[in-house]
Amino acid sequence: MRTLLYTEAIREALDLAMAADQRVYVMGLGVPDPKAIFGTTAGLQAKYGPQRVFDMPVAENGMTGVAIGSALAGMRPVMVHQRVDFALLALDQIANSAAKWSFLFAGKQSVPLVIRLLIGRGWGQGPQHSQSLQATFAHFPGLKVVMPTSPYDAKGMLLAAIADPNPVVFLEHRWLHSTFGHVPPEHYHAPLSQALVSRPGSDITLVASSLAHIEALQAANILAQHNISAEVLDLRSIQPLDRETIHASLKKTKRLLVVDHGWKSFGVAGEIIASMSEIAFTDLISAPQRVTAPDHYPATTPAHANLYYPGVAEIVNAALHMFKRTPMSESDMQLTIPLHRDVPDKNFRGPF
Amino acid sequence: MTLISDKLARFTTMLRIRMVEEMIAARYDEQEMRCPVHLSIGQEAIAAGVCAAFTRSDYLFSTHRSHAHYLAKGGDLPGLIAEIYGRNTGCVRGRGGSMHLCDLDVGILATMPIVGSTLPIATGAAFGSKLLGDQRVTVVFFGDGTTEEGVFSESLNFAALQQLPIVFICENNLYSVYSPLEVRQPARDRVALAAAHGITAALGDGDDVEAIFSLTENAVARARNGGGPSFLEFATYRWREHCGPHYDNDIGYRSEAEFLAWQQRDPLARTERELLASGELCAATLSDIKASLQDEIETAFTAAREAPFPDESTLFTDLFVPTELCVQAA
Ligand SMILES: Cc1ncc(C[n+]2csc(CCOP(=O)(O)OP(=O)(O)O)c2C)c(N)n1
Ligand SMILES: [Mg+2]
């Protein structure tokens, strides 16, 4: 079985997409530079030339419009921003143009655009460089919003996104970039609309995506020591939301805990809980719960990183609470969490 | 100490910036400054020359690369160092780190890392000053990359339309991160672009602190007298990596030869040579200045490292200020 880094999986998807389709091009600040967006675009300019793989002016909104226009004219742009926060400058073009184009023009035109956005938490990047904005994008009908967790899905969903005739916001967590996983070498698609049962269980359903999904899996291991069998769902796609898979799981487990790194209010977790309250109310035997970032901003100081971000311990204890069990101390969980929760692992030496 | 000349003061500002940032670079790998740092080493003359033309009550805005501007405008050194260390004694109590500085006592309203974001905000501060008639002039620093953002044109346009008291300072260090200017902009003349708005605009040598000072002094005088905005671009070079304490000429986006050529032009060494040659500075005074700066800097680092981190109780404060504070007296 071949394993690749998450970043290599992304790179391979871009490579295959460009090889298969002349219309695909990749642009973004730093795309051809020596760091190559953390390696995800390495070697692509040498292979496909500066017409198809290129740097851009520091002009997020304008260049998003350029990408949209070129898509209308027949291209398949893949745009990348090193932080999701920079896409806020382009929210006009993303939300007012790309998201509405097909609707506005009665389905006669669409915008096949992929925007890769990197979530940059850690090392004191502070409130303007580490936001989790999945709910913001998902709020606009007409945008697909995906957050693959595994390298397998990163590759398959990126290929599917590039092939899709609609705008797709593709969110990559920086802390997943250094994870490994099985990635077949061929061209394949992973669905842009389906959640995955990543760990079957019978007592409680944990729904999460991206880095939060890894934390949910770790929490499920600890819950197993308490004889609680957690079923873990890797959401993969935020918009559309796979309500059927979540509902099917709840029929079995009857308990719902959603984990999301976005803010608590008006967020992904809230939407999942609301829709399950609508369609699965009678299946549930306890009030659904959520573990999210607080409705506030992470300060730069490492002292607050430890307190701001929810993690495995918070998930475990939220679940235990739903079973009316006593909470566990974090030290009893024997987690391999670095001293400061502002780095992905203890080998990280900053800055991002 | 005897009263030092203005030229010597500007030199000392440059030297202080250099020494502070070299200390940051030297200690960064200790893993205690846990935030990004964008150093201005090599670009000090612009901060020192420009800020010397402003008063404490004038407003300053800057970017991710702002330590030099903060220090040159008179920002509190211990507050800067403690901020980078994430301590409660930092200038924004650990909230923002290196990229979000502020010192209201000396008119430093904000530095922010979202490229271009402070351009219109600075323009707005100048608009406020104009409406209030408070005689303040605003300075906003930004890089060559920032002139690619839409808000650059939008800000110039409004500043010119309203004849605002603002000085736009573009530090052209040839790169945005690892992207050279030529892949981002055609060979356009940004000075002419500003001038086309009717803004007084000039290109200057970013290594010549005295020339920078006099260009800016004129711009500030014009702004204060209702003569409207100015745009000044200075050619300069960032010596170290875009973000972080190290050198990165080896990674392949620029050549060692290019770096060495710029390093030769070292604005600090050049000013030092000039002052020594003219007799405005002697070796003994220089070593006194260095020693006292070294003391000051070490004290600031020691204080920062000994200072407490922000308390857990401040985790969720300040999202809003209390409503009653917002009610301004008529
Ligand atoms: C809106 C936005 N886009 C991209 C970035 C990433 N970024 C951080 S610093 C920087 C370089 C900007 O170049 P320049 O304005 O020339 O400033 P310099 O770093 O050279 O001082 C970029 C692109 C950002 N912070 N904000
Ligand atoms: Mg620059």
Kindly state the percentage of chain A with pLDDT values over 70: 99
* Residues in CB range of B239: below 8 A, 6 or more apart: B39, B41, B42, B247, B259, B262, B263
- CATH fold for the domain made of A3-182: Rossmann fold (3.40.50)
> β-pairing, A204-208 with A256-263?
parallel
Q: pLDDT tens for residues A293-311?
A: 999 999 999 999 889 999 9
Residues in chain B: 330
pLDDT along chain B (330 residues), means of 10: 78 98 98 97 98 98 98 98 98 97 98 98 98 98 98 98 98 98 97 98 98 98 98 98 97 97 98 97 97 98 98 95 68
For residue B161, the Cα-to-chain-centroid distance in whole angstroms is 26
Which residue type sits at A334?
Q
Beta carbon pairs, A and B, within 8 Å: 125
Ligand 1, pocket-test mutation among B172, B176, B240, most atoms within 8 A of CB: B176
Give the per-residue pLDDT at A10: 98
For the segment(s) A196-322, the CATH number from 3.90.730.10, 3.40.50.920, 1.10.3720.10, 2.40.50.140 is 3.40.50.920
Which of B131, B197, B195 has its CA nearest to residue B159? Answer: B197
Write down the domain spans for chain A. Answer: 3-182, 196-322
State the DSSP code for B182: G
**Omega of the bond leading into A351 within 30 degrees of 0 (cis):** yes
Residue B2 pLDDT: 43
Q: How far apart are CA A57 and CA B148, in angstroms?
A: 6
> Which residue has the CA at smallest separation from atom 23 of ligand 1?
B176
CA angle A216, A221, A224 (to 5 degrees): 120
DSSP track, A71-99: HHTT-EEEEEESSGGGGGGGHIIIIIIIH
Residue of A nearest to B319 (CA): A296
Map residue B163 onto helix, strand or coil.
coil
- State the number of CA atoms in the 13 A half-sphere of B299 facing the CB: 9
Q: Which ligand is nearest to the CA of A82?
A: 1
- Contact call for B35 and A126, based on CB within 8 A: yes
CA distance A28 to A118: 12
d(CA B111, CA A312): 35
How far apart, in whole angstroms, are the C-alpha atoms of residue B154 and residue B175?
22
Instruction: State the catalytic residues of A.
Output: 60, 129
* A336 vs B73, higher pLDDT: B73
**pTM here?**
0.97
- Is any Cβ of chain A less than 8 angstroms from the Cβ of B187? no
- Joined together, the tokens standing for residue A27 give 């642009």
Q: Is omega for the bond preceding A240 within 30 degrees of 0, making it cis?
A: yes
The Cα B49–Cα B269 span in angstroms is 15
Closest residue of B to A37, CA-based? B178
Q: Which chain B residues are closer than 8 Å to A123 by Cβ? A: 34-36
Neighbours of ion ligand 2 (CB under 5 A): B 143-145, 173
Rg (CA), chain A: 20
A338 has pLDDT over 80: no
Give the range among A79-88, A127-136, A331-340, B36-45 with minimum mean pLDDT: A331-340
- Residues of chain B with C-beta less than 8 angstroms from the C-beta of A92: none
The ligand whose atoms approach the alpha carbon of A83 most closely is 1
Chain B hits for A297, CB-CB cut-off 8 Å, are: 319
The yes-or-no answer to whether A3-182 and A196-322 have a common fold is yes
Q: Looking at residue B1, what is its pLDDT? A: 41
Within 6 A (CB) of ligand 1 lie: A 29, 58, 60, 86, 89; B 64-65, 113-115, 142-146, 173, 175-177, 242
Cβ <8 Å between B184 and A86 = no
Count of domains observed in chain B: 1
Sheet-wide strand order for A237-239? A53-54, A24-28, A76-81, A114-119, A168-173, A144-146, A237-239
Q: Phi first, then psi: give them for residue A28, nearest 5 degrees.
A: 165, 160
Other Cβ atoms less than 10 A from the Cβ of B30: the count is 8
Contact: A124, B36; criterion CB under 8 Å: yes
Q: Choose among B96, B116, B177: nearest Cβ to A300.
A: B96
Contact A128 B114 (CB under 8 A): yes
Helix or strand holding residue B244 (H, E):
none
Domain of B196, in residue numbers: 3-329
Q: List the single best residue of B35, B92, B152, B317 to mutate versus A (max A Cβ within 10 A).
A: B35
- Residues A260, A292: contact at Cβ < 8 Å? yes
pLDDT of A163-216, one tens digit each? 999 999 999 999 999 999 999 999 999 999 999 999 999 999 999 999 999 999
Q: Is the pLDDT of residue A339 over 70?
A: no
